[in-house]
Amino acid sequence: MLIRILIAASLLLILWVLLSGHMTVLSLSLGAASCLLVAWLFHRLALPDPDFKTLYFSFNLPRFLPWFFLEVIRSNLDVSWRILHPKLVISPVKSTVSTKILNDVAKTTYANCITLTPGTYTLNVDADSIEVHSLTQGTAEKLQKGEMKERISALQGRFKTP
Protein backbone atom coordinates (compact mmCIF):
# COMPACT_ATOMS: atom_id res chain seq x y z
CA MET A 1 0.00 0.00 0.00
CA LEU A 2 2.70 2.48 1.01
CA ILE A 3 4.77 1.63 -2.06
CA ARG A 4 1.82 2.31 -4.37
CA ILE A 5 1.24 5.68 -2.72
CA LEU A 6 4.91 6.60 -3.03
CA ILE A 7 5.07 5.53 -6.69
CA ALA A 8 1.94 7.54 -7.51
CA ALA A 9 3.25 10.56 -5.60
CA SER A 10 6.59 10.32 -7.40
CA LEU A 11 4.94 10.19 -10.81
CA LEU A 12 2.73 13.14 -9.90
CA LEU A 13 5.76 15.10 -8.66
CA ILE A 14 7.68 14.42 -11.87
CA LEU A 15 4.68 15.59 -13.91
CA TRP A 16 4.31 18.67 -11.70
CA VAL A 17 7.99 19.60 -12.10
CA LEU A 18 7.82 19.12 -15.87
CA LEU A 19 4.70 21.27 -16.18
CA SER A 20 5.58 23.99 -13.68
CA GLY A 21 9.33 24.39 -14.18
CA HIS A 22 9.79 25.71 -10.63
CA MET A 23 12.84 24.25 -8.95
CA THR A 24 13.10 26.16 -5.66
CA VAL A 25 13.25 24.25 -2.39
CA LEU A 26 9.94 25.73 -1.23
CA SER A 27 8.16 24.88 -4.49
CA LEU A 28 9.53 21.34 -4.57
CA SER A 29 8.65 20.66 -0.93
CA LEU A 30 5.11 22.05 -1.30
CA GLY A 31 4.74 20.13 -4.56
CA ALA A 32 5.94 16.91 -2.92
CA ALA A 33 3.54 17.40 0.01
CA SER A 34 0.66 18.07 -2.38
CA CYS A 35 1.50 15.02 -4.48
CA LEU A 36 1.68 12.80 -1.39
CA LEU A 37 -1.68 14.12 -0.20
CA VAL A 38 -3.30 13.55 -3.60
CA ALA A 39 -1.83 10.04 -3.88
CA TRP A 40 -3.01 9.16 -0.36
CA LEU A 41 -6.51 10.56 -1.00
CA PHE A 42 -6.74 8.71 -4.29
CA HIS A 43 -5.69 5.49 -2.57
CA ARG A 44 -8.36 6.03 0.10
CA LEU A 45 -11.04 6.72 -2.50
CA ALA A 46 -10.09 3.88 -4.84
CA LEU A 47 -12.04 0.66 -4.85
CA PRO A 48 -10.86 -1.82 -2.22
CA ASP A 49 -10.79 -4.64 -4.78
CA PRO A 50 -9.23 -3.09 -7.89
CA ASP A 51 -10.06 -4.57 -11.24
CA PHE A 52 -7.83 -3.93 -14.19
CA LYS A 53 -10.41 -3.04 -16.83
CA THR A 54 -8.67 0.27 -17.42
CA LEU A 55 -5.25 -1.33 -17.96
CA TYR A 56 -6.14 -2.48 -21.46
CA PHE A 57 -7.41 1.02 -22.16
CA SER A 58 -4.01 2.48 -21.38
CA PHE A 59 -2.24 0.16 -23.85
CA ASN A 60 -4.64 0.91 -26.73
CA LEU A 61 -5.12 4.60 -26.05
CA PRO A 62 -2.23 5.76 -28.30
CA ARG A 63 -4.07 4.29 -31.29
CA PHE A 64 -7.40 5.87 -30.31
CA LEU A 65 -6.38 9.40 -29.35
CA PRO A 66 -5.06 10.63 -32.75
CA TRP A 67 -8.27 9.50 -34.44
CA PHE A 68 -10.40 11.11 -31.74
CA PHE A 69 -8.49 14.42 -31.87
CA LEU A 70 -8.94 14.49 -35.64
CA GLU A 71 -12.68 13.89 -35.21
CA VAL A 72 -12.89 16.76 -32.69
CA ILE A 73 -11.11 19.09 -35.14
CA ARG A 74 -13.40 18.01 -38.01
CA SER A 75 -16.47 18.53 -35.84
CA ASN A 76 -15.19 21.93 -34.70
CA LEU A 77 -14.81 23.05 -38.30
CA ASP A 78 -18.24 21.69 -39.21
CA VAL A 79 -19.98 23.38 -36.28
CA SER A 80 -18.12 26.65 -36.94
CA TRP A 81 -19.18 26.58 -40.59
CA ARG A 82 -22.81 25.91 -39.65
CA ILE A 83 -22.89 28.70 -37.08
CA LEU A 84 -21.26 31.24 -39.41
CA HIS A 85 -23.44 30.26 -42.39
CA PRO A 86 -26.05 32.97 -43.07
CA LYS A 87 -28.91 30.43 -43.16
CA LEU A 88 -27.77 28.60 -39.98
CA VAL A 89 -27.98 25.14 -41.55
CA ILE A 90 -28.73 23.01 -38.51
CA SER A 91 -31.37 20.38 -37.89
CA PRO A 92 -31.20 19.32 -34.22
CA VAL A 93 -32.17 15.72 -33.59
CA LYS A 94 -32.28 13.30 -30.67
CA SER A 95 -31.15 9.75 -31.30
CA THR A 96 -30.22 6.63 -29.38
CA VAL A 97 -27.05 4.60 -29.90
CA SER A 98 -26.62 1.06 -28.66
CA THR A 99 -24.02 0.15 -26.03
CA LYS A 100 -24.87 -3.53 -25.54
CA ILE A 101 -21.35 -4.88 -26.08
CA LEU A 102 -19.54 -2.24 -23.98
CA ASN A 103 -18.54 -2.66 -20.35
CA ASP A 104 -19.13 0.14 -17.83
CA VAL A 105 -15.75 1.81 -18.39
CA ALA A 106 -16.22 1.73 -22.16
CA LYS A 107 -19.78 3.11 -21.88
CA THR A 108 -18.49 6.01 -19.81
CA THR A 109 -15.70 6.62 -22.31
CA TYR A 110 -18.16 6.47 -25.20
CA ALA A 111 -20.55 8.92 -23.54
CA ASN A 112 -17.70 11.30 -22.71
CA CYS A 113 -16.30 11.13 -26.25
CA ILE A 114 -19.74 11.92 -27.66
CA THR A 115 -20.02 14.93 -25.38
CA LEU A 116 -16.48 16.13 -26.14
CA THR A 117 -17.13 16.03 -29.88
CA PRO A 118 -18.62 19.38 -30.94
CA GLY A 119 -22.16 19.15 -32.26
CA THR A 120 -23.13 16.20 -30.06
CA TYR A 121 -24.14 15.91 -26.43
CA THR A 122 -24.92 12.88 -24.27
CA LEU A 123 -28.34 13.31 -22.66
CA ASN A 124 -28.79 10.00 -20.86
CA VAL A 125 -26.91 6.73 -20.39
CA ASP A 126 -28.99 3.59 -19.85
CA ALA A 127 -27.94 -0.04 -19.46
CA ASP A 128 -27.95 -0.73 -23.21
CA SER A 129 -28.07 2.68 -24.88
CA ILE A 130 -26.99 6.30 -24.87
CA GLU A 131 -29.40 9.08 -25.76
CA VAL A 132 -27.66 11.76 -27.82
CA HIS A 133 -28.59 15.24 -29.00
CA SER A 134 -26.95 16.09 -32.33
CA LEU A 135 -26.77 19.41 -34.10
CA THR A 136 -27.53 17.78 -37.47
CA GLN A 137 -29.10 14.64 -38.85
CA GLY A 138 -25.81 13.77 -40.53
CA THR A 139 -23.98 13.78 -37.20
CA ALA A 140 -26.62 11.49 -35.70
CA GLU A 141 -26.31 9.11 -38.67
CA LYS A 142 -22.53 9.07 -38.30
CA LEU A 143 -22.95 7.99 -34.67
CA GLN A 144 -25.44 5.32 -35.73
CA LYS A 145 -22.86 3.86 -38.15
CA GLY A 146 -20.79 3.10 -35.07
CA GLU A 147 -17.19 3.95 -35.96
CA MET A 148 -16.59 5.56 -32.57
CA LYS A 149 -18.22 2.60 -30.81
CA GLU A 150 -16.01 0.17 -32.74
CA ARG A 151 -12.88 2.09 -31.78
CA ILE A 152 -13.91 2.21 -28.12
CA SER A 153 -14.78 -1.47 -28.32
CA ALA A 154 -11.21 -2.07 -29.53
CA LEU A 155 -10.02 -0.08 -26.51
CA GLN A 156 -11.76 -2.54 -24.20
CA GLY A 157 -10.28 -5.50 -26.06
CA ARG A 158 -13.04 -6.35 -28.54
CA PHE A 159 -12.27 -5.76 -32.16
CA LYS A 160 -15.56 -6.60 -33.93
CA THR A 161 -18.98 -5.34 -33.01
CA PRO A 162 -22.08 -7.44 -33.60
What are the tens digits of pLDDT across the range 136-145?
A: 999 999 999 9
C-beta neighbour count of 16 within 10 angstroms = 19
pTM over 0.75: no
The C-alpha atoms of residue 151 and residue 162 are separated, in whole angstroms, by 13
Query: With 90 as the cut, is the pLDDT of residue 153 above it?
Result: no
pLDDT at residue number 105: 81
Q: How confident is the model at residue 7 (pLDDT cuts 50, 70, 90)?
A: confident
pLDDT at residue number 78: 94
C-beta neighbour count of 69 within 10 angstroms = 10
| Residue of 153, 152, 74, 154 lying closest to 120 (CA atoms) | 74
Residue pair 7/43 in contact by the 8 Å Cβ criterion? no
pLDDT at residue number 162: 45
End-to-end CA distance of the chain: 41
Q: How confident is the model at residue 161 (pLDDT cuts 50, 70, 90)?
A: very low
Give the rounded percent of residues in the chain with a pLDDT score beyond 90: 50
Show me where the domains of the chain are located.
2-45, 53-155
pLDDT at residue number 22: 81
- Give, in order, the Cα–Cα distances in Å from 102 to each of 17, 114, 123, 130: 37, 15, 18, 11
